Amino acid sequence: MVSISRFSSQFLLFMIIFIALGCGQRGSDQPDLGYVQGTVTMDGKPFVGAIIVFSPENGRQSAGTLDENGKYELEYMHHSKGAKLGSHTIGFGTPTGETLAVPIPKKYLYGTETGLKAEVKPGNNSFDFSLKSK
């Protein structure tokens, strides 16, 4: 009976370590990323609270939330800063359950052809966007 209990404990410990080592690390299928940050204004004033989304031609999107100064920093996945290298289209969304002080004009909504583009390169990238409400 003791050996079964000991085996179960060792097996459980092994599984916890195995899972912990596999979690939080860059997966072998994660592409190379470029760090992306910038500022977004609406009619010359900081655009606050919206989500900016960078969508590559293929693969996972990156997103960031605009702070009180309209600044953002993109995340590819939890604990992975940046965006996939290459060409991206840019769109904006509203966080679930929230209302923005300044609504997003339809022409900039995520999922539409906004006309906003960015080319993410290795290293640091800074992209500023000046949006117009009309």
Query: How much of the chain is in helix, strand and coil states, percent to nearest 5?
Result: 20, 40, 45
In a domain? residue 2? no
In a domain? residue 21? no
How far is the C-alpha of 16 from the C-alpha of 7, rounded, in Å? 14
In a domain? residue 5? no
**Residue 111, token pair as written in the block:** 């999922």
In a domain? residue 28? no
pLDDT at 63 over 80: yes
Radius of gyration in angstroms for the set of CA atoms belonging to the chain, rounded to a whole number: 20
In a domain? residue 6? no
How far is the C-alpha of 106 from the C-alpha of 5, rounded, in Å? 62
pLDDT recorded at residue 27: 53
Split at pLDDT 50, 70, 90, the class of 39 is very high
In a domain? residue 41? yes
In a domain? residue 57? yes
Query: pLDDT digit string (tens) for 86-131?
Result: 999 999 999 988 888 889 999 999 988 999 999 999 999 999 999 9
pLDDT recorded at residue 10: 53
In a domain? residue 79? yes
The CATH number linked to 59 is 2.60.40.10
54: containing domain: 33-131
The answer to whether the beta carbons of residues 92 and 108 sit under 8 Å apart is: yes
The string over 67-101, giving b where at least 16 C-beta atoms fall within 10 Å of a residue's C-beta and e elsewhere, is eeebbbebbbeeebbbbbbbebbbbbbeeeeeebe
Specify the number of domains making up the chain: 1
H-state helical runs in the chain: 2-22
pTM of the model: 0.77
Query: pLDDT digit string (tens) for 7-38?
Result: 444 544 445 554 544 444 455 578 999 999 99
DSSP 107: G
